[in-house]
Amino acid sequence: MSHYKLGLEYAKQQDQNDALSNYRNQFYIPKDKNGNDLIYMTGNSLGLQPKTTKQYINQELDDWANLGVEGHLHAKHPWLKYHEYLTESMAKIVGAKPIEVVVMNTLTVNLHLMMVSFYQPTKSRYKILIEADAFPSDKYAVESQLRHHGFDDKKGLILWKARKGEELANYEDLESILETHGHEIALVMIGGVNYYTGQFFDLKRITELGHKHGCKVGFDCAHGAGNVELNLHDSGADFAVWCTYKYLNSGPGSLAGCFVHERHAYNKNLNRFTGWWSHNKETRFKMRDEFDQLPGAEGWQLSNPPILSMAAIKASLDMFHEVGIKKLVGKSKKLTGYFEFLLKQLGEDKIRIITPSNPNERGCQLSIQVKNSDKTLHNKLTDAGVISDWREPDVIRCAPVPLYNSFEEVYRMIEKLKEILN
């Protein structure tokens, strides 16, 4: 940590030396009523809009206007195979093979579709293990799957809790849960990066543990995709799901991504819900044919994709493709490290960071607890031009996103926080 320095000049110097600093100009930065840039620290909730997004969507609107239904075959990017234009870039971002990845539906829909296939309970092995402070929709989804299969959603749920007085989940506790209950657990389903604490879990370690006890393993990577190196293929996980509107900047409520490990790619016996977009592309339009499963993650698709949403995703993924996740994570570690360094100057008596201090166990989000504070502090920060994210009971989540946040912004945010605290 000691290599960071105090003062505005240092922050400006870091921005000048940053190879990715020009990407900030490729995004619309929200402004206050006087036309000044707001300090936007909530890319972990909704990413900013790339300036190219409009052009990408307009291309499809023009093709629709000019071609009508013929756009499926004759648009500049024919709609029939539009999801395929996203596969390779998305696979690189999440560390997967193209056959393992598809962009479709929305996050919790994909989670349910994955559980149709990978949660296969029996009378004696039916429980689902999740982290105690999982994102609510994950908890609701797994509880509803338990009920759907005729089980009690309280007895069937096993929670991996942090220890008393601690925020972060501990792997030894997970090991002992699996030693004791492994034979009863059908599915381990963990949020890859915890939304509240920002803890980035060791996906490979969790997968190996789960598999050792005969459980299927899946991850919700909503807070991981585009933020950390997930290496999904190497993790060995059975499946993963994620959204694209946070770090992947695809617009509010946009489509989600899905990963199915290649060892399942050709298994046609896996239980699944099907629709015609998972049917063999060559014979899809021979409407009288029996269902013929596509291999890989594409074989979980149901419907033809919403092109306008995909165009917005393509605009962002093209930028990610240009930068590469490695460079992005490299800058992220520097920027978040600098943020942590400045926060610590405020004094441990005032501020506590609950996110792991090891850069390999977190992404760019730091979750900050401010002693003796409530939501009024967050409101004051907002009034001072800092867009951050309040989570009950006492946490402010801030994410300096490497694509569009700068060192100078981090510096200025801390100065504003200092003023408010004093």
Domain residue limits, the chain: 8-44+324-421, 58-117+192-322
130 token code pair: 């999740």
Band of residue 245 on the pLDDT scale cut at 50, 70, 90: very high
The answer to whether residue 1 scores a pLDDT higher than 50 is no
CA distance 326 to 351: 31
CATH match for 8-44+324-421 among 3.90.1150.10, 3.40.50.150, 3.30.450.20, 3.40.50.80: 3.90.1150.10
Predicted confidence at residue 291, as pLDDT, reads: 86
Predicted confidence at residue 299, as pLDDT, reads: 95
Quick: pLDDT tens for 271-288: 999 998 988 888 888 878
Tell me phi and psi for residue 21, to 5 degrees. Answer: -60, -30
Which residues partner with 391 through β-bridges?
A: 395
CB-count burial class (<10 Å; 0-12, 13-18, 19+) for 404? buried
CA distance 306 to 290: 25
CATH class of 58-117+192-322: alpha beta
Predicted confidence at residue 67, as pLDDT, reads: 98
Predicted confidence at residue 373, as pLDDT, reads: 81
How many Å separate Cα 30 from the centre of its chain?
22
Quick: pLDDT tens for 191-244: 999 999 999 999 999 999 999 999 999 999 999 999 999 999 999 999 999 999
The answer to whether residue 254 scores a pLDDT higher than 90 is yes
Band of residue 2 on the pLDDT scale cut at 50, 70, 90: low
Quick: pLDDT tens for 283-339: 888 878 888 889 999 999 999 999 999 999 999 999 999 999 999 999 999 999 999
Nearest-CA neighbor of 24 among 403, 355, 293?
403
Quick: pLDDT tens for 76-99: 999 999 999 999 999 999 999 999
Count of H-run helices and E-run strands, the chain: 13, 13
